[in-house]
Amino acid sequence: MRVAAKAKLNLALAVVGKRDDGYHELRSVFVTLDLADDVRVAPHKRLEVRNTLPLDGEDLAARAVTALARATGREPFAFVSIRKRIPLAAGMGGGSSDAAATLHGLAQLWRVDADLMRIGAELGSDVPFFASGARAAFVSGRGELVRALAPPRDPIDVVVLRPPLRLPTAEVFGSFTMSDRVAASRVEQLVSAFEQGRVTPDVIRTYAANDLLAAAERQCEAITTWRTAAAARGIPLFLTGSGPTLFAVADDRGDAVRVGRILTRAGMRAHPHKICV
């Protein structure tokens, strides 16, 4: 089975508070991006995962095989091959998307009917969104509550700045303080725009916000440098997830190419993409 594991952007992300289980309560608008890892799942005599990028710690895809096997009474044996295109620890959900793709591919391979979103919630906060198959969604709780939103009729063009560094999520949340919160009303407004079918580039630019921005900037000075350099050229940049990946919202494909060239000439690694695909 071959499954595309798409990246995501958080168009808006609000941290509501701290939960009793130690996680943060979040509200966010997630959208898929036309950047994806290539995940292949096949029968095997043992559990083996091959990844084209070295990982820190256990691969989430391996945990996905074990979790689905436990939920369906199967032996946790499978061969999983992951060709990485999504940067690691970049706030784009690459590992979580790989895990969800593994769940989908293995469920088809084993011909089992399982609640992949529930199983995904055991693996990580972003996995339920990817397991849902939604192109856009309002995500809440610690990520386990996913409500699909109708995507705009046509995908929207963005420019993604993919930095050559990693910023672990735990470090950003460790630096976060409740005084950093600015995004709660923006999330609500953006959800309403999706529900009413009036999402445009201007609407996204108006309501894009991320409560983790200040914490991410405290952990990664480059984020501030990039945003300042882009703003000097009239281009607002927004943070996705816990960073360090940033994105700009373009009016159309031509504008995305133009913005990408401006940012690239300024020394930033910028690439045009589409969201809600």
pLDDT at 156 over 90: yes
Q: Quickly state the pLDDT bin for 57 (edges 50, 70, 90).
A: low
Distance CA 141, CA 25 (A): 5
Predicted TM-score (pTM) of the model is 0.96
pLDDT, residue 23, reads: 84
Where does 176-248 have alpha helices with state H? 184-195, 201-207, 213-219, 221-231
Q: Tell me the CATH number of domain 2-148, given options 3.40.80.10, 3.40.640.10, 3.30.230.10, 3.40.50.300.
A: 3.30.230.10
pLDDT at 56 over 80: no
Question: β-pairing, 47-51 with 136-141?
Answer: unpaired
Pairwise CA distance, residues 99 & 204, whole Å: 28
Interval 83-96: pLDDT, tens: 999 998 899 999 99
Residue 72 above 70 pLDDT?
A: yes
Residue-range domain boundaries for the chain: 2-148, 156-275
**Looking at the annotation, which residues are catalytic?**
8, 126
Using one digit for the tens of pLDDT, what is the confidence trace for 237-249? 999 999 999 999 9
pLDDT of residue 162: 83
CATH, range 156-275 = 3.30.70.890
For residues 187 and 17, give the distance between their C-alpha atoms in angstroms, rounded to a whole number.
Answer: 15
CB–CB of 52/202 below 8 Å? no
Residue 129: pLDDT over 70: yes
Q: Could you report the per-residue pLDDT of 3-21, keeping only the tens digit for each?
A: 999 999 999 999 999 888 8
Structure tokens, 25: 């309560």
- CA-wise closest residue to 29 among 17, 13, 8: 13
Contacts of 49 (CB under 8 A, 6+ apart): 59, 61, 62, 65, 79, 80, 81, 82
Answer positive or negative: Cα dihedral of 249, 251, 254, 258.
negative
Q: What integer pLDDT is reported at residue 58 of this predicted model?
A: 66
